[in-house]
Amino acid sequence: MSKLGWFLAGIGLGALTIIQVRDNPKAKAAADELYAAAKDFSNAVAEGYREREEELTKPKKSTGAKK
């Protein structure tokens, strides 16, 4: 299938999905749940990134041993 064919198939599936979500309360609930899960995941990744960045930018403590 050509790239144009895949593009048109994607547009068609997207339109079908939008119609289903708009007309079907169960599909809307599933879409809302998926959105909430994706948002929670992205927040967890961002928080982990901030924590790790903080760990890496802390000045290192000296052990007190001199050579």
- Residues 6 or more apart whose CB falls under 8 angstroms from that of 36 comprise none
In a domain, 61, yes or no: no
Angle at 59 between CA 58 and CA 61, to 5 degrees: 120
Distance CA 48, CA 64 (A): 31
Task: Please report the pLDDT score of residue 62 as a whole number.
Answer: 66
- Indicate whether 26 belongs to any domain: yes
Check whether 16 has a pLDDT greater than 80: yes
- Which tens digit of pLDDT belongs to each residue from 21-54? 889 999 889 889 999 999 999 999 999 999 999 9
Q: What is the DSSP letter of 64?
A: S
Domain range enclosing 27: 3-52
- Write the DSSP symbol of residue 58: S
Predicted TM-score of the model (pTM): 0.57
Q: Are 56 and 48 in contact (CB under 8 A)?
A: no
If one counts the domains in the chain, the total is 1
pLDDT at position 6 = 95
Instruction: Using the predicted structure, report yes or no on whether residue 5 has a pLDDT greater than 70.
Output: yes
